[in-house]
Amino acid sequence: MGRQVLVTGGTGYIGSHTVVELQAVGFDVVIIDDLSNSSAEVVDQIEKISGIRPAFEEFNLLDSEKLEAFFKKYTGIEAIIHFAAFKAVGESVEKPLLYYRNNLVSLMNILDCMSEYKVANLVFSSSCTVYGQPDQLPVTENTPKKDAESPYGNTKAISEEVLRDVVKVTPDLKVIALRYFNPIGAHPSALIGELPRGVPNNLVPFITQTAAGIRQQLSIFGDDYDTVDGSCVRDYINVVDLAKAHVIAINRLINNTNSDRFEFFNIGTGTGASVIEVVQTFEESTGVKLNYKIVARRPGDVEKIYADTTIANSVLGWKAETSLYDTLLSAWNWEKRIRGIN
């Protein structure tokens, strides 16, 4: 048995890919997930890929009694990756309390248990949303944070502050926050991927669902931004590459190679792509023509953001490897598999 890692939100999109990468290097993974935005079948799919079935406990992290019982049952946990959170930007504007309670209280419950059950290492899912629309690009880890654009984004900014303050007064605690840019794509096996409920908010699921005929037409939100072609620019990071960054972060904590007890890293490719470039690259890599139209800007969108990954490259020794072309193809292969398209 390898060293035991708890992955909260482990049946979710980024969580499931990370479980597979952890298992690939010998970690013994335990998942907690309430299945509020995923399904128990993901556990089967993970087992199909890795040949190892991760332990799975289904409950919500707001339930502190269940969380206590969990740590009494699993006494060997050395590190935690905390993915479990709500993430729909628009919904968070409608239901701020739901977001603040779920995302912040779950983190605090975990921190309580880490202290009580002597678990020292935490990797936290943060987001480039903490930078807002930065004044200078690319953004480094030291780019000043801006007010969050949404309650969702604010939960990530506040969580980082909670972690910073708790680390200061908890001598054994070590935390790495990974600030993801835009994760896309799916596992090359097409056995796990992103499965949004209802109409997708995010670009790539909307593209693949349009290509699959589930959505009639993709709307491109705005072509009058100050960018290469007028559409917004983002840093799209392959989900498997992103998952690997978590494995590196966990090893860094467990092996005590971190230089600070609270570190944070940008996890992106370092290159921006416009919405129109993503659409064109999708068409090239898959050979599928997309039905799309340009519509008005989406409120709350930042114009352009992409990462400076120098620190992640040099300090973590991590680098994005997969091209946008291959990543979009992997997203399409996943969509085709779940829709039964040949």
Nearest C-alpha neighbor of 242 from the set 205, 222, 264, 268? 268
Instruction: By CB under 6 A, tell whether 38 contacts ligand UFG.
Output: no
3-class secondary-structure state, position 4: strand
Omega cis (within 30) before 299: no
Residue 38 or 182 with smaller CB distance to ligand UFG: 182
Do 269 and 314 touch, CB atoms closer than 8 A? no
How far apart CA 179 and CA 87 sit, in angstroms, is: 14
19, 89, 120, 122: which one binds ligand UFG (CB under 6 A): 89
Q: Which residues, listed in sequence order, are joined to residue 221 by a DSSP beta bridge? A: 295
Range 286-305, binding ligand UFG (CB under 6 A): 298, 301
> Segment near ligand UFG (CB under 6 A), from 45-53, 126-134, 186-194, 331-339?
126-134
Give catalytic status of residue 152 as yes or no: yes
By CB under 6 A, name the one of 275, 316, 320, 331 that touches ligand UFG.
Answer: 275
Query: Token pair of 141, please?
Result: 């880890």
The token duo for 229 is 């072609």
Query: Which strands make up the sheet holding 174-180, listed edge to edge?
Result: 55-57, 28-32, 4-8, 77-82, 121-127, 174-180, 262-267
Q: How far apart are the two ends of the chain, measured CA to CA in Å?
A: 39
Residue nearest to ligand UFG as judged by C-beta position: 232
* 324 contacts ligand UFG (rule: CB under 6 A): no
If one asks whether residue 127 binds ligand UFG (CB under 6 A), the answer comes out as yes
Among 153, 193, 268, 272, which residue sits at the site for ligand UFG (rule: CB under 6 A)? 153
In this complex, which beta carbon is closest to ligand UFG, that of residue 170 or of residue 280? 280
Show contacts with ligand UFG in window 217-256 (CB under 6 A).
218-221, 232, 234
What is the largest distance, in Å, between two alpha-carbon atoms of the chain? 56
Cβ proximity to ligand UFG, 298 vs 336, nearer residue: 298
* Rounded alpha-carbon distances, angstroms, from residue 105 to 15, 53, 63: 19, 29, 10
The gap from C-alpha 87 to its chain's centroid, in whole angstroms, comes to: 9
Q: Could you tell me the sign of the dihedral formed by the alpha carbons of 19, 196, 190, 208, in that order? A: negative
Residue 129 contacts residue 234 (beta carbons within 8 Å): no
Answer yes or no: are the C-beta atoms of 119 and 113 closer than 8 Å: yes
Q: Which of 13, 99, 131, 152 is catalytic?
A: 152
Give the residue with the Cβ less far from ligand UFG, 121 or 231. Answer: 231
Q: Which stretch binds ligand UFG (CB under 6 A): 71-79, 124-132, 280-288, 311-319?
A: 124-132
Provide the mask over 174-213, with x wherever binding to ligand UFG is found by CB under 6 A and - wherever it is not.
--------x------------------xxx--x-------
Least distance to ligand UFG, CB of residue 16, Å? 17
Q: Which is nearer to ligand UFG, 49 or 130 (CB)?
A: 130
Least separation in angstroms between CB 328 and ligand UFG: 13
Q: Which residues are catalytic?
A: 152
Contacts to ligand UFG by CB under 6 A: 87, 89, 127-129, 153, 182, 201-203, 206, 218-221, 232, 234, 275, 298, 301
